[in-house]
Amino acid sequence: MFEALTEKLQSTFKKLRGQGKLTERNMREGLREVRLALLEADVNYRVAKEFVEEVERVAIGKKVLDSVTPAQQLVKVVYDELVKVMGDERSEIHVAPPTPTVLMLVGLHGCGKTTTAGKLANYFRSKGHSPIVVAADVYRPAAIDQLKVVADQADVAFFSRNHTVSPIVICKQAVQLAKQDSHDLVIFDTAGRLHIDEQLMTELRNIKQAIQPQEILFVADAMTGQDAVKAAAAFHASLDLTGVILTKMDGDARGGAALSIKSVTGVPIKFIGTGEKTDAFETFHPDRLASRILGMGDMLTLIERAEKTFDEEQVKKLERKVRHATLDLEDFLEQLKQMQEMGPLSQLVEMIPGLSTIARRAPAEVDEGKLKKVESIILSMTPQERRNPDIIDGSRRRRIARGSGTTPQDVNQLLKQFRQTQKLMKQMARGRGPWPMLR
């Protein structure tokens, strides 16, 4: 989402390299580029203006330490200001049983509330809670059925009534049921509406009065940029929002909503949706997103995804194989499948410091199709061939290529890369490789 902004910022920092000091002249030239980059990313005009003014105030005339360059010092100042603009620190939702914690999702039509309700329920279920999702949208055709499907995917409880029952009655009954069935979290999926529709906004205020939610979360489509920010401000004025959830953060929009919404509304971003799957949902960390925007990666989120995806016993088994240099193509295939479960390759690369820049310059190298090709080649091998690739001769290569829809050259390339990996592992196991601590 922030690709263009990241490139512009890195280009600006590059121009400042080699300068002895951050002067007003070179700083203002650089900050002019930063301001244009923010505006092109659809950041609110006032936010962009104040952002640049604050960076300039902090940075101009600052002495450059012996260990850093002016560009590095500016990166630090910009990073700190990005974190401040997006909310300084993580804002959490606390579930406090035995009384059920009530979350009310509100927003415009088509912003992703129903899917978000399922993701939110799945997130809290994985934390040991017992959520129930409630269909409070009686206006949109198939809204109830859609939420039922999402609830089944998340493996959480579901509550609904037919379209003739008013949303306020449905919400009251749902809270009562949650108490009876010992659910410690109730998530209401309300109908989408425009903030200028006074009748429907009044309905939301009445629901709020009836169920007294601990959290009123505005679900915003990050792809809509400043429209989402304006709508959030209007909903906040009417309902006193407690948080924002940004959806579709994996899209190719400019990302201005993420950088503007906290400054404009004063409401913190609490979660972001990063894909279509139920588990493509993350707690919002301003510092981590600022790091990604500046091309510095986000290793903490990558590690958290890996911990959720990889089985502990499998990790230990893999470690033993690495130590003894006995990794085979069966293991390689298993790791490939688990890595794919962590999310799209392009997202993972963005989280690794240094690789995001390389990926933008050579997008062909971050091609999901290449992983699919490797998977197809290995799946076309027999179990014996996967365990012992040395037996793969010319005729076997041709058979594997036909079975995987590739060429014998593709099979050769995979086998060559695998042998290089085996060689590296043997060096590591003997303490001669780059990681002798594995001895």
Q: What is the pLDDT of residue 428?
A: 55
302 is a domain residue: no
Percent above pLDDT 90 for the chain: 33
- Give me 377's structure tokens: 């080649």
Rounded mean pLDDT, 11-29: 71
388: domain CATH number is: 1.10.260.30
Same domain, 106 and 132: yes
Q: Check: pTM over 0.85? Answer yes or no.
A: no
> Which residues on adjacent β-strands are paired with residue 102?
186
172-216 residue pLDDT tens:
999 999 999 999 999 999 999 888 888 999 999 999 999 999 999
- How many domains would you assign to the chain? 3
Same domain, 114 and 138: yes
- Decide which of 62, 86, 110 is a domain's last residue: 86
* DSSP-derived secondary structure for 327-379: --HHHHHHHHHHHHHT--HHHHHHTSTTHHHHHHH-GGGS-HHHHHHHHHHHH
pLDDT top residue among 439 and 95: 95
> Which residues on adjacent β-strands are paired with residue 133?
158, 187
Same domain, 278 and 427: no
- Decide which of 296, 318, 352 is a domain's last residue: 296
192 is a domain residue: yes
Q: What is the pLDDT of residue 100?
A: 93
pLDDT band at 18 (very low <50, low <70, confident <90, very high): low
pLDDT band at 248 (very low <50, low <70, confident <90, very high): confident
* DSSP-derived secondary structure for 52-111: HHHHHHHHTTPPPPTTS-HHHHHHHHHHHHHHHHHTSS-------SSSPEEEEEE-STTS
**Angle subtended by helix axes 45-59 and 70-86, to nearest 10:** 140
Same domain, 69 and 211: no
117-126 residue pLDDT tens:
999 999 999 9
Model confidence at 244: pLDDT above 90: yes
Q: What is the pLDDT of residue 286?
A: 87
pLDDT top residue among 424 and 356: 424
Three-state secondary structure call for residue 246 = strand
What angle is formed at CA 304 by the lines to CA 338 and CA 133, rounded to 5 degrees? Answer: 90
Q: What is the pLDDT of residue 433?
A: 45
Rounded mean pLDDT, 364-388: 80
406-433 residue pLDDT tens:
999 999 988 888 887 777 666 655 654 4
Same domain, 275 and 318: no
pLDDT band at 77 (very low <50, low <70, confident <90, very high): confident
Range of the domain at 33: 3-86
Gap between the Cα atoms of 403 and 377, Å rounded:
8
301 is a domain residue: no
Closest CA to 143 of 165, 117, 171, 114: 114
Instruction: Yes or no: say if 433 and 427 are a contact pair by the CB < 8 Å rule.
Output: yes
399 is a domain residue: yes
Rounded mean pLDDT, 112-121: 94
User: Residue 149: CA atoms inside 13 Å, Cβ hemisphere, count?
Assistant: 8
23 is a domain residue: yes
133-158 residue pLDDT tens:
999 999 988 899 999 999 999 999 99
Q: What is the pLDDT of residue 395?
A: 92
Three-state secondary structure call for residue 271 = strand
Same domain, 414 and 336: yes
Distance of CA 11 to the CA centre of its chain: 25
Burial class (CB in 10 A: 0-12, 13-18, 19+), 304: middle
- Decide which of 21, 54, 86 is a domain's last residue: 86
Q: What is the pLDDT of residue 358?
A: 47
Rounded mean pLDDT, 324-338: 74
361 is a domain residue: yes
Same domain, 241 and 273: yes
Same domain, 246 and 322: no
36 is a domain residue: yes
197: domain CATH number is: 3.40.50.300
Quick count: other Cβ atoms within 10 Å of Cβ 41? 26
Same domain, 224 and 139: yes
Quick count: other Cβ atoms within 10 Å of Cβ 293? 23
70: domain CATH number is: 1.20.120.140
pLDDT band at 438 (very low <50, low <70, confident <90, very high): very low
pLDDT band at 436 (very low <50, low <70, confident <90, very high): very low
Model confidence at 360: pLDDT above 70: no
**Cα separation values, 332 from 375, 387, 414, Å:** 9, 10, 11
pLDDT top residue among 311 and 91: 91
Answer whether the bond into residue 97 is a cis peptide, omega within 30°: no
Q: E strands of 97-180, at which residues?
A: 101-106, 131-136, 157-159
Same domain, 77 and 198: no
* DSSP-derived secondary structure for 294-334: TT---HHHHHHHHHHHS-HHHHHHHHHHHHTT---HHHHHH
Gap between the Cα atoms of 367 and 364, Å rounded:
5
Same domain, 348 and 277: no
Sheet containing 157-159: which strands, arranged edge to edge? 157-159, 131-136, 185-190, 101-106, 215-221, 243-247, 269-273, 281-283
Q: What is the pLDDT of residue 398?
A: 93
272-285 residue pLDDT tens:
998 888 888 988 88
pLDDT band at 131 (very low <50, low <70, confident <90, very high): very high
> Which residues on adjacent β-strands are paired with residue 273?
281
Instruction: Yes or no: say if 77 and 63 are a contact pair by the CB < 8 Å rule.
Output: no
94 is a domain residue: no
Please, what is the average pLDDT of the chain?
81
Model confidence at 45: pLDDT above 80: yes
Same domain, 70 and 193: no
83-107 residue pLDDT tens:
888 887 777 888 877 789 999 999 9
Q: What is the pLDDT of residue 202?
A: 93
Q: What is the pLDDT of residue 346?
A: 60
- Asked whether the CA dihedral 299, 301, 304, 308 is positive or negative, the reply is negative
